[in-house]
Structure 1
Amino acid sequence: MKTHGSDETPFSYLVKVGHISANPVDVHVEADKRELAGLAELWDVLSVEKLEADLKISRWKRDGVRVKGNVKAKIVQACVVTLEPVESDIDEDFEHIFVPEDSKLARSPSMDAGEMVLDPDGPDLPETFTGDTIDAGAAVAEFAALAIDPYPRKPGVEFEGHIEDTGENDRKPSPFAVLKDWKKE
């Protein structure tokens, strides 16, 4: 995710880092019609009817910023079976940390051999930013996009005549299989 300016994402809410205190500030953001149309194009869905988020923005450690909140969206996608419109509701809690690009906190933990250590169940690495501004709106849009169902289906619709391949017959036959019935006379 880029956090440099509003021209890189259809939905943007810029926050000056210098104005953030240790006490969380409550912020409500909501996309307008133009931003909803841009998000629909970006996410490749039929339409985005609503995108809003309630955020708590606060200082994190010395020079970082924590954006914690809940994003709600209503989108319309095409059913993967019938191509008919399918409405989906998104309701996701998220937390995202931003740190300046020169911060020691931006470096990922590594082992002596130079390997990166990542815990798949642990928190995400902090996102870096340049300058004195972060884009909380881009973070909201990113977390909403991550919650979109990649294969939306109308309720009760199934694939007709679909046979699931379990992979059991993927093994190559042995080159000696042709000799199993061969008998020496």
Structure 2
Amino acid sequence: MKRAWRQTIRLGELSKGPVKLRLEPDAETRALIAREVGLESLPALTADITVHPWLDGAEILGQFDAVVEQICGVSLEPFEQALSADIEFRVVPAGSPNAPAESEAATVELEFDPDEPDPPDVLADEEIDLSAYLIEQLALEMDPFPRKPGATFDYVPDTTDLSPFAALKKLKGEGE
């Protein structure tokens, strides 16, 4: 899949220590990202990320702030909402001894502990696409059922008798 925006760093750049970056796409790029993740618009998106050497790969840590425009699931009106979240990913190069074994996951039942960190992602090459991790975290933080503040669902059920016998009662007449 072709990404709307790419901001990359190579693993070799971490040999001198952590690298700090500020990611801030322009308006045109934010419009492409909004379309990619299913938003009406993305008025603001910034992230401060630090990439640290980790084992034979890298650890990506940081935080993002965004303003997203979504459609309310109740009123169908667009509304803006501020989002902020931490970013934490680990990556290792292909062939790394620290990479999760694919064959092990297919044959052995794994236990899931939500408090444990996720296993590291395996890179296709020496390049880490930081923008992809930012967009992934943004998509995870978005409300899949957005509701505009103050929007209420006012459903009043029909109080008439809807049973099939009610229709027969009408045909027979009320007095019989």
Work out which of the residue numbers 132, 140, 143 in structure 2 matches 1:138: 132
Residues 106-133 of structure 1, C-alpha deviation per residue, up to 9 Å, x if partnerless? 115969x722233222111101112221
Residue 157 (1) aligns with residue 164 (2): no
Q: Which moved more, 1:83-92 or 1:102-111?
A: 102-111
Q: How many residues align?
A: 155
CA distance in 2, matches of 1:157, 1:107: 45
Mapping for residues 162-173 of structure 1, pairs under 5 Å = none
Mapping for residues 84-103 of structure 1, pairs under 5 Å = 84-103=77-96
1:40 alignment partner in structure 2: 34
| Counterpart contact for 2:94–2:125, Cα < 8 Å | no
Residues 139-173 of structure 1, C-alpha deviation per residue, up to 9 Å, x if partnerless? 0111011000111112111111168xxxxxxxxxx
| Counterpart contact for 1:108–1:116, Cα < 8 Å | no
CA distance in 1, matches of 2:123, 2:17: 21
| Counterpart contact for 2:94–2:122, Cα < 8 Å | yes
With normalisation by structure 2, the TM-score equals 0.80
Mapping for residues 32-111 of structure 1, pairs under 5 Å = 32-61=26-55, 63-107=56-100
Which letter maps to 2:18? P
Q: CA deviation at 1:21?
A: 3.0
Q: CA deviation at 1:24?
A: 1.9
Q: Which has the higher helix share?
A: 2
Residues 65-118 of structure 1, C-alpha deviation per residue, up to 9 Å, x if partnerless? 11100011111001111111111111101211010121121115969x722233
Q: CA deviation at 1:22?
A: 6.2
Identity of aligned residues (%): 33
1:14 alignment partner in structure 2: 8
2:174 alignment partner in structure 1: none
CA distance in 2, matches of 1:81, 1:15: 42
With normalisation by structure 1, the TM-score equals 0.77
Q: CA deviation at 1:29?
A: 0.8
CA distance in 2, matches of 1:22, 1:93: 25
Which letter maps to 1:89? A
Q: CA deviation at 1:15?
A: 0.5
| Counterpart contact for 2:40–2:70, Cα < 8 Å | yes
| Structure 2: runs of 5 or more not aligned | 158-176
| Counterpart contact for 1:36–1:50, Cα < 8 Å | yes
CA distance in 2, matches of 1:87, 1:151: 14
Q: CA deviation at 1:25?
A: 1.8
